[in-house]
């Protein structure tokens, strides 16, 4: 269409407003939320007028057969004159003989979001957009056809994109009796000027009758320098967009910034995004991002908001649902409720659930940085939602990023460039302090926007700008906030290698403060293994830290490996210390350090699983970095898993029994084994019990070793029923010692010699001589502090390991005889 200084001149020329009820053409003021509409028009020929709001008018096309939801159907759309914005409500009859005479129905209405620059699309003849209407939804494209010579009209094609809203039925929109979305009337009723009916309920709109929740203060994350460890933390990608709180309820959805500004209109591309949710009211915390990322995520969002492109809302927390306040509920419970609420949302829809991973914080952070993310947010799974900055939410950034106040700009000597760099500052105490300049990262459009937004002033907003910079600076009112990425702060406190990312409209300039990482526990290196949070208490009552645990395994690593290396392990992990959540881990579920080796083992159900094992001290230290306190070992080595080389009887006393009973029992088991011709050793477990154990020649399989251990335990219980039981049952254990023979079946484990125990006092399981055991005052008398002296002595465990025993036929026969006495 040829352009005119008055875009509505053609519209007004064609109409006699003394004979038609159509609105007189006047250019209006476009809203942030761009409208689209379709009017079913029974003129000389039935067609559908498709209209898009742009620059104060309605761009218009006559679609002869009506829109089709089938992407293979390309419907002819003839470009017509622009219409006034007031036409978006028009429904009625145009008098016969007038231009367009006939009945007009408001057939569809809603909002539209362009996917590309609108002016370029109109010029180039290809306009892609998303509709959020009552009938038409999803992606659509208008494509201009190549015109014939001397052809005056512009022929376009209206085409549905392939998405969740596409349908096979080519005429699904136009078959049957349509009702007006404004008055609920048919075309005949409109022609007869019948009274308006109740409009049909939009399938895109949820009628919510519960009061919409009010804005609530958002929980903010504390900046830290490393990701917290342990399975009591969940980790999410840190989105590089605008934080947003969505309030659903009666009257529609409202979208608020983190400071409480109502940006529903600015986020109009999310119209209808929350409609599918099966609730009457909700308060959802999340982040708004650009649907299409070109360049940085933040700059893409800036462009999407400026050009009206598609947005997505990543939901990550649920504060309220149908009047139920969830803020006191644990993080993981709120997360589960949110996932349930969003479970029916279509994939690819603008409303999405953010992804999270429990545990493995360091690995999640490394992966996020490798993928180019800004960082991660770590959240305690048991923490409530607090409307303030909290250590229960922690953010770890891959690069240095900071918000700064713009206080001025340095002029440029290059033609067409309005400035060379921006001067930055932040609030410290009650004053603005200069923080350096940023001179890169500006597109031409960003420079233009900045110059349109700044307000010049004569005096500097802060007093500490160096004279050589201040003398040429054009000062501006300090009310704009810039997001800046930089390498580091110089010794003078100025940003180095800074790059401009965009303006932040969601945070007032007077709230901008430097964000320094929270002081966390120190980091150290033990035998080349990085130990984060090394000063974190693991045994709080003893003052022993995570670093102390790592150093313990460095100290005793060689000896522990000599006794327990190359055996499948079960790790007992306490990432936040022994007073917090602890758990066993025997499989490699991913994220464990490379210093631990893996072996695939067939389990009892026939499935294969990856197990961990240690081959060197660094294996143990790396496991300590992951919060491992205890190491439990199989009775076989990885080179012959079906041939055990270790037999263990774990003496587990009832609560009422003292140490003397346990010690005497150990000697009695030793002596009874000796009757069978077997030599054994002792390990105090660091708890209440003793392991009486022996090293085996690998001549028997698990079934034989297990049967021998079971028979021997039952023999002891039969001979001394007042002292022993071979049954795990608590009721049978009263006043007795349970001889735990179950440690000798395939897949069972026992505590490794020299392993720490996750008990008060940080005790260590230690092999002892029988002579030592006679005078020892308890099974938990050895601690980390005793290990340096202990390592100077010959190890009783290594001696026992050298003394290989055989479960020969003679030994088995002797046991049979013993059982018959």
Cα Rg, the chain, nearest whole Å: 38
CA dist., res. 708 & res. 672, Å (int): 14
Q: 123: how many CB neighbours lie within 10 A of its CB?
A: 11
CA dist., res. 135 & res. 172, Å (int): 10
* C-alpha angle 438-439-445 in degrees, rounded to nearest 5: 110
Using CB atoms within 10 A of its CB, is residue 720 exposed (0-12), middle (13-18) or buried (19+)? Answer: middle
Cβ proximity of 313 and 350 under 8 Å: yes
Candidate list 238, 395, 546, 706, residue with the active-site label:
238
Q: Look at strands 351-353 and 57-63 and give their pairing.
A: unpaired
Q: DSSP assignment, residue 87?
A: G
CA dist., res. 799 & res. 793, Å (int): 12
CA dist., res. 611 & res. 603, Å (int): 11
| Sign of CA pseudo-dihedral 709, 714, 717, 719 | negative
415-421 long-range contacts, CB within 8 A, separation 24+? 417/447, 418/447, 418/448, 418/450, 418/451, 419/447, 419/450, 419/451, 419/474
3-state class of 177 per DSSP?
coil
Name beta bridge partners: 92: 104
Q: 430: how many CB neighbours lie within 10 A of its CB?
A: 5
Number of residues written out for the chain: 821
Query: Is 40 labeled as catalytic in the residue annotation?
Result: no
Q: How distant, in Å, are the alpha carbons of 276, 636, 706, 707 from that of 812?
A: 71, 21, 12, 10
Q: How distant, in Å, are the alpha carbons of 239, 257, 288, 563 from that of 242?
A: 8, 7, 5, 56
In 559-687, DSSP assigns E strands to 569-573, 583-585, 597-602, 608-613, 628-633, 646-653, 681-684
User: Which phi and psi angles does 404 have, rounded to 5°?
Assistant: -130, 155
- DSSP symbols for 26-75: ------SS-EEEEEEEESSSEEEEEEEEETTEEEEEEESS---S-TT--E
3-state class of 482 per DSSP?
strand
Cβ proximity of 307 and 268 under 8 Å: no
- Which residues are annotated as catalytic? 238
């Amino acid at each position: 269409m040829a352009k005119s200084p008055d875009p509505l001149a053609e519209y007004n020329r064609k109409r006699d407003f003394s004979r038609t009820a159509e609105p007189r053409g006047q250019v209006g003021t476009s809203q942030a939320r761009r409208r689209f509409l379709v009017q079913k028009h029974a003129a000389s020929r039935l067609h559908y007028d498709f209209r898009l709001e742009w620059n104060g008018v309605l761009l218009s096309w006559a679609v002869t057969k009506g829109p089709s939801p089938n992407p293979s159907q390309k419907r002819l759309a003839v470009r017509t004159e622009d219409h006034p914005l007031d036409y978006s409500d028009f429904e009625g009859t145009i008098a016969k003989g007038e231009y367009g005479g006939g009945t007009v129905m408001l057939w569809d209405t809603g909002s539209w979001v362009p996917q590309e620059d609108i002016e370029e699309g109109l010029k180039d003849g290809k306009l892609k957009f998303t509709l959020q209407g009552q009938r038409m939804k999803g992606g659509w494209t208008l494509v201009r056809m190549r015109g014939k010579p001397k052809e005056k009209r512009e022929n376009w094609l209206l085409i549905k994109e392939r998405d969740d809203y596409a349908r096979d039925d080519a005429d699904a929109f136009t078959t049957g009796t349509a009702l007006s979305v404004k008055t609920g009337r048919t075309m005949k009723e409109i022609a007869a000027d019948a009274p308006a009916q109740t409009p049909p309920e939009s399938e895109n709109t949820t009628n919510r009758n519960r009061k919409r929740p009010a804005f609530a203060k958002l929980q903010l994350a504390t900046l830290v320098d490393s990701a917290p460890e342990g399975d009591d933390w969940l980790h999410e990608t840190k989105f590089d967009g605008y934080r947003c709180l969505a309030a659903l309820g009666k009257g529609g959805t409202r979208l608020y910034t983190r400071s409480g500004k109502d940006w529903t209109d600015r986020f109009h591309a999310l119209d209808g995004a929350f409609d599918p949710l099966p609730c009457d009211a909700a308060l959802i915390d999340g982040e708004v991002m650009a649907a299409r990322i070109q360049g940085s995520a933040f700059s893409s969002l800036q462009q999407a908001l400026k050009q009206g492109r598609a947005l997505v809302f990543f939901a990550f927390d649920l504060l309220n649902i149908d009047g139920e306040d969830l803020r006191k509920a644990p993080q993981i419970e709120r997360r589960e409720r949110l996932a349930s609420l969003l479970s029916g949302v279509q994939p690819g829809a603008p409303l999405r659930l953010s992804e999270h991973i429990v545990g493995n914080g360091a690995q999640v952070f490394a992966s996020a940085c490798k993928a180019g993310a800004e960082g991660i947010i770590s959240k305690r799974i048991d923490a409530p939602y607090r409307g303030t900055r909290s250590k229960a939410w922690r953010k770890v950034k891959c690069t240095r990023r900071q918000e700064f106040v713009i206080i001025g700009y340095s002029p440029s000597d290059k033609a067409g460039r309005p400035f060379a760099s921006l001067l930055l500052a932040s609030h410290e105490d009650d004053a603005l302090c200069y923080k350096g300049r940023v001179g890169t990262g500006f597109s031409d459009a960003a420079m233009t926007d900045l110059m349109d937004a700044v307000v010049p002033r004569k005096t500097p907003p802060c007093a500490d700008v160096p004279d050589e910079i201040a003398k040429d600076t054009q000062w501006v009112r300090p009310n704009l906030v810039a997001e800046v990425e930089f390498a580091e702060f110089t010794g003078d406190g100025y940003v180095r290698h800074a790059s401009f990312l965009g303006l932040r409209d969601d945070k007032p300039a007077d709230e901008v403060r430097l964000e320094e990482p929270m002081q966390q526990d120190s980091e150290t290196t033990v035998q080349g293994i990085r130990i984060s949070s090394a000063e974190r208490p693991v045994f709080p009552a003893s003052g022993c830290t995570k670093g102390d645990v790592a150093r313990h395994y460095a100290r005793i690593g060689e000896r522990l490996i000599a006794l327990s290396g190359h055996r499948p392990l079960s790790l007992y992990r306490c990432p936040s210390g022994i007073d917090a959540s602890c758990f066993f881990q025997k499989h490699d579920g991913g994220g464990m350090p490379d210093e631990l080796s893996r072996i695939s083992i067939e389990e009892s159900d026939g499935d294969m699983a990856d197990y961990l094992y240690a081959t060197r001290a660094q294996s143990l230290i790396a496991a300590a970095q992951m919060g491992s306190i205890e190491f439990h070992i199989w009775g076989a080595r990885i080179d012959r898993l079906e041939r055990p080389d270790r037999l263990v009887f774990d003496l587990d006393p009832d609560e009422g029994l003292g140490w003397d009973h346990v010690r005497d029992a150990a000697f009695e088991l030793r002596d009874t084994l000796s009757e069978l011709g077997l030599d054994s050793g002792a390990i105090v477990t660091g708890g209440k019990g003793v392991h009486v154990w022996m090293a085996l020649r690998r001549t028997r399989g698990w079934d034989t070793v297990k049967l021998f251990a079971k028979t021997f335990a039952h023999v002891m219980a039969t001979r001394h029923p007042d002292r022993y039981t071979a049954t795990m049952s608590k009721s049978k254990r009263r006043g007795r010692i349970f001889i735990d023979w179950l440690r000798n079946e395939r897949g069972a484990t026992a505590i490794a010699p020299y392993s720490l125990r996750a008990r008060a006092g940080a005790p260590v399981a230690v092999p002892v001589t029988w002579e030592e055991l006679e005078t020892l005052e308890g099974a938990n008398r050895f601690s980390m502090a005793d290990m340096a002296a202990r390592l100077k002595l010959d190890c009783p465990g290594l001696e026992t390991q050298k003394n290989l025993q055989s479960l020969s036929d003679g030994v088995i026969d002797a046991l049979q005889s013993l059982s018959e006495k």
